[in-house]
Amino acid sequence: MNFEQMKAEFLALLQEKTLVQATISQPRQKSNEIKRVKLKPIELRGVYTIQLEYQYERILQHENIALADFAEQFDKLLEQFRQIHAQFTSQNIQIQLSKKNKVLWKSDQQATPKQVNLSHNRKKQYLLDDSKAYPFLIRLGVQTEDGHVKKQKYDKFKQINRFVEFIDDSLSYLPKDRTIRILDFGSGKSYLTFALYHYLKIEKGLDIRVTGLDLKKEVIEECNRISQDLGYEDLEFLVGDINDYNDETAVDMVVTLHACDVATDMALARAVKWGAKVILSVPCCQHELNRQLDTPALDVMLQHGLIRERFASLATDSIRAELLSLVGYDTQLLEFIDIENTPKNVLIRAYFTGKKPSEAQRARYDAFVTLLNAKPFLQNELQNLL
Ligand SMILES: C[S@@+](CC[C@H](N)C(=O)[O-])C[C@H]1O[C@@H](n2cnc3c(N)ncnc32)[C@H](O)[C@@H]1O
């Protein structure tokens, strides 16, 4: 068998869609940055696709290539590597190439045919698998170099996993015929921003463009460095104040995770004005209402600082949810994560439906804010839409 026949034979086998997994290894040059490439079949939006995992010295990178486009990539891989081990459902194949591309092809039949799993082989409870190394989590210091989640980062790991689950549940509300525009406000170290990019773009192959925005210049610069190093072309980070950020006209999904106090309201207001179809927001440290509360009828509760703080926090999120309903969102307050993980565990989930509120709903809202003496930032921001 010569080199061209080997290529044709291997590609023909792939066309049968019986690949279980394959490893392409033995770099022709020692200096090759990629040490080996793992292949596995996955189904992306109904299309049989080969997922390539490029293994560098320290990091992994993923690329999904539709089977129909794989031949070109295969040529490039064979320019770099001399060995292929491939497992198909009913045979194993080993291909060894000499420096001059003489071919040694060995195959053996499987006694018991293997199954092909076109899903992403994920554990059910986590969309990000805690036994797998993710380059972005290693760079962000959540995982060790060999892919273990650091003990002190486990809560963060759980939080971003849970948040990504909520995003996954919301995908049907997002456009399918164009790039999905996503903003993460108050992204900070951007664990969530990277995680959602990884999950939606790399694992699910969705056409997305993501921006993380935060006040902290150094943190954002580091996020941009990581994003560039990992080749995340459609993920950018900007330094700025949410309240001054008016660069967009239309956004599909806005997320926030623990954006402080009214920063959450600024984000919600922008999301509404840009017509975001999906808003997912886990607020934190709600101080605004705490300062305004003046309700003698509730003093039995509010005289206690701890209760006042918790009450203000719950009332703030209820007001936010109600305001979003009043401007056409189907809104729910959900438990984000178990309370031992973080007490900041309410998630506001809002899907735009355009449904007009009833007069009774508006009156109910007015009565509530009057009772509390509340003058919500978000109400002021949405004034024209209410
Ligand atoms: C508690 S951190 C959360 C960071 C990140 N979302 C996470 O969960 O790891 C809150 C972030 O919101 C940012 N922030 C607060 N107010 C902001 C504003 N007005 N505009 C932009 N970012 C803001 C802070 O700089 C901080 O990084």
> In angstroms, what is the span from residue 218 Cα to ligand 1's centroid?
13
Task: Return the pLDDT at 248.
Answer: 82
Ligand 1 atom having least distance to the Cα of 260: 15
Q: What is the mean pLDDT of residues 111-130?
A: 65
d(CA 354, CA 279): 14
Size (the chain), residues: 386
Find the domain containing 25 and state its range. 3-109
Which pair of structure tokens corresponds to residue 185? Answer: 């406000």
Which pair of structure tokens corresponds to residue 247? Answer: 């660069």
CA dihedral of 224, 230, 235, 239, whole degrees rounded to 10 = -10
Predicted confidence band at 122 (pLDDT cuts at 50, 70, 90)?
very low
Q: Among all chains, which residue has been given the structure tokens 């239309």?
A: 250
Ligand 1 site, residue 213, Cβ cutoff 6 A: yes
Backbone φ and ψ for 296, nearest 5 degrees, come out as -50, -35
- Contacts of residue 135, Cβ cutoff 8 Å, sequence gap at least 6: 59, 60, 61, 230
- The answer to whether residue 144 is domain-embedded is no
Predicted confidence band at 112 (pLDDT cuts at 50, 70, 90)?
low
Q: What is the mean pLDDT of residues 37-53?
A: 88
- The answer to whether residue 126 is domain-embedded is no
- The answer to whether residue 26 is domain-embedded is yes
Predicted confidence band at 228 (pLDDT cuts at 50, 70, 90)?
very high
Domain check: are 292 and 354 in the same one? Answer: yes
Q: What is the CATH number of the domain that holds 338?
A: 3.40.50.150
Predicted confidence band at 58 (pLDDT cuts at 50, 70, 90)?
low
Q: What is the DSSP letter of 232?
A: -
d(CA 164, CA 125): 12
Which pair of structure tokens corresponds to residue 67? Answer: 């089977």
- Among the listed ranges 106-115, 307-316, 376-385, which one has the minimum average pLDDT value? 106-115
Mutation pick for ligand 1 pocket among 155, 163, 187 (CB with most ligand atoms within 8 Å)? 187
d(CA 167, CA 140): 21
Separation of CA 275 from chain center:
21
pLDDT of residue 84 exceeding 60: yes
Q: How far is CA 80 from CA 49, 58, 62, 97, 106, in A?
A: 22, 19, 17, 11, 21
pLDDT of residue 124 exceeding 50: no
Q: What is the mean pLDDT of residues 287-306?
A: 94
Q: What is the mean pLDDT of residues 340-365?
A: 89
* Mean pLDDT over each residue of the chain, to the nearest integer: 91
Task: Return the pLDDT at 345.
Answer: 85
Q: Whose CA is nearest to atom 16 of ligand 1?
A: 263
pLDDT tens-digit series, residues 312-332: 999 999 999 999 999 999 999
Spatial contact of 237 and 187, defined as CB atoms under 8 Å apart: yes
Ligand 1 site, residue 308, Cβ cutoff 6 A: no
> 243-279: string of b/e by CB count within 10 Å (b at 16+)?
eebeeeeebbbbbbbbbebbbbbbbbbbbbbbebbbb
d(CA 65, CA 54): 13
What DSSP string runs through 2-21?
-HHHHHHHHHHHHHTT-EEE
pLDDT tens-digit series, residues 203-221: 888 999 999 999 999 999 9
Domain check: are 188 and 266 in the same one? Answer: yes
Task: Return the pLDDT at 43.
Answer: 82
Ligand 1 atom having least distance to the Cα of 241: 20
Domain check: are 100 and 38 in the same one? Answer: yes
Q: How many structural domains is the chain composed of?
A: 2
Predicted confidence band at 121 (pLDDT cuts at 50, 70, 90)?
very low
Domain check: are 238 and 374 in the same one? Answer: yes
Ligand 1 site, residue 214, Cβ cutoff 6 A: yes
Domain check: are 19 and 85 in the same one? Answer: yes
pLDDT tens-digit series, residues 152-205: 998 899 899 999 999 999 999 999 899 999 999 999 999 999 999 999 999 888
Ligand 1 site, residue 259, Cβ cutoff 6 A: yes
Domain check: are 52 and 162 in the same one? Answer: no
- The answer to whether residue 277 is domain-embedded is yes
Spatial contact of 259 and 286, defined as CB atoms under 8 Å apart: no
- Proportion of the chain above pLDDT 90, given as a percent: 75
